[in-house]
Amino acid sequence: MALFDSLIGELEQRFGLGESAGAFVADTIRYIVATDHGGLRGFIDLFNEAGLGHIAASWVTKVRESLPLTGAQLEGVLGSGLIDRLASRFSLPDSTARDALAYAVPKLVNLLTPAGFIQDPMEGEVASFLERSAAGVTPVAAAVGPAALVKPAIAAVSPVAAAVSPVAAATRPATVAPAAVASSAAPVSPAPPAAPPPQPPQARESRGMPVWGWLAALAWAGLLGYWAWHGPEQAQEALAVAAVQPQALPVPRLALSNDDGKVQYAGVVADEKSRATILDGLNSVFGAANCSGELALDPRVGPASWLADLGALLPRFRLPGADLLLEGNDVKVGGWLSDTERSKLLDAIKRQFGSGFSFGFLGDKTGEAVKTGADRTRAALAALRAGYGGADLVKALNLWVINFSTDSAEVPLDSLPLVTAAAQAILGAPPTVVIEIAGHTDNSGDSARNRALSEARAVSVREALVVVGVPAGRLNARGYGSDIPVASNETPAGRFRNRRIEFKTQQ
């Protein structure tokens, strides 16, 4: 049976898609792997950002049963555009298209990750299926899915990469929406002739292009991209609108990061009076010796609507590891905090500020560390050479960051996709290699309780590996509590590093 036949049959029967079920599946796959949102990994990240990471992770792992996705959850993450266009193309009610898509997505992600982790799905049977599907549909229908397969991708890349901490961020990261599904009623306009490549500057030119020149070049590049995407008529209309659109002025901005009482600040305000108000408030709450940073002045910046409430807000920011960003009317919190701590802090700020502001969360430093660790572990495991031994194996496994919930010994769902890869690597080592799974905690709380918790976590990891095929005799679990730190317990980042699972060889 072909890879997607079972799902196609289920869609035919459950949702009345009939002969269109195959094309529906193909269009959904193209959307999932679209380069616009970063391919399959970026698609999963959309659910992580919406707070549904535990559901999406279950589709990848083979340790637990995939969790279902409701139509409302799907629409909340992807929006209604994809649903509307699929409904139009296949002559379905919107509710049917939404429910069919919600039913198909978990199963497709599971099928696209046969090894239990995210990899390039555009190979082998998947690529063949998409090619066959594209051959049997009209060019407009084939446009459903990743823009990279149909239209040139236009990506706006900031010249300065934003750091995780809001204090270090020089620019706000651009948000790239998932690829929209092309309407079956819209004609596909040919792209305009390619412009000749720019000539290299003459050797005698030393000043470079002036600022207005760069702006004009960027505007022209954007117009060409819009032309290729929408056609010349829409591009001309967009250019006319842009010509009269006023340029947005910079907004007041203050970013704070609390590293165990040492506060770093950065931002921009309109005048010296506003800057003095901010610095006086910080010095009063944290002490001048504990505050450092820079606040720029820009007379174009409007008044800071949050400035009047800043004095009452700062005492709430004593939470170690907290980050805060005030930008225009946007208020966001984050840092080395648990989900509970972040939510409590944001709720307190909401009560303080009241209406008129938009509230949200910053990038999760813990989540970033987990994701980076997973990427590094996966790459290291894939790079193991034939005949590798225990030392090389544990070196790769120790890049893995398993972030347990507070007081929990259950392996987090976002770590489960790596369980299968880790198991395969252990099975590939010589059978004489025995691995100790060592659990560690920070020094918060009672030491005896920490030791018991660390051992319970090590046992959970061992059990997860046994479930996917590692013989139990090749794995031992032990908890060390807070006895062997690898970083200072004086900072949130250090405590995070100390809460860890380590792998050791016992040959």
275-305 per-residue burial string, b: 16 or more CB within 10 A, e: under 16: bebbeebbeebbeeebbebebeeeeebeebe
Rg (CA), the chain: 27
CB count within 10 Å of CB 375 equals: 13
pLDDT value at residue 507: 61
CB of 164 closer than 8 Å to CB of 47:
no
Say if residue 506's pLDDT is above 90.
Answer: no
Amino acid at position 31, single letter: Y
Q: In this prediction, what percent of the chain has a pLDDT beyond 70?
A: 74
Q: Cβ neighbours of residue 305 under 8 Å, at least 6 residues apart?
A: 252, 328, 329, 356, 357
DSSP result, 317-365:
GGSTTEEEEEETTEEEEEES--HHHHHHHHHHHHHHH-SS-EEEEEEEH
Q: What are 2's two structure tokens?
A: 């072909």
Q: How far apart are CA 279 and CA 269, in angstroms?
A: 12
Highest mean pLDDT among 34-48, 158-172, 214-228, 306-320: 306-320
- Which contacts of 14-21 are long-range, i.e. CB under 8 A and separated by 24 or more positions? 14/100, 14/103, 15/92, 15/96, 15/99, 15/100, 15/103, 16/96, 17/90, 17/92, 17/100, 20/90
Q: How far apart are CA 150 and CA 188, in angstroms?
A: 10
Q: What are 371's two structure tokens?
A: 């994701």
Global pTM value: 0.45
Q: How far apart are CA 147 and CA 35, in angstroms?
A: 7
CB of 301 closer than 8 Å to CB of 269:
yes
- Residues 444-465 have a mean pLDDT of 95
pLDDT band with cut points at 50, 70 and 90 for residue 116? low
Q: Cβ neighbours of residue 140 under 8 Å, at least 6 residues apart?
A: 182, 183, 184, 186, 187, 188
Say if residue 258's pLDDT is above 60.
Answer: yes
CB of 31 closer than 8 Å to CB of 181:
yes
Q: Is the dihedral of CA 232, 86, 77, 72 positive or negative?
A: positive
Q: What is the pLDDT of residues 319-355, one digit of tens each?
A: 888 889 999 999 999 888 777 788 888 999 999 888 8
Q: What is the pLDDT of residues 128-163, one digit of tens each?
A: 888 887 776 433 333 333 333 333 333 333 333 333
CA distances from 411 to 373, 405, 422, 457 (A): 15, 9, 14, 7
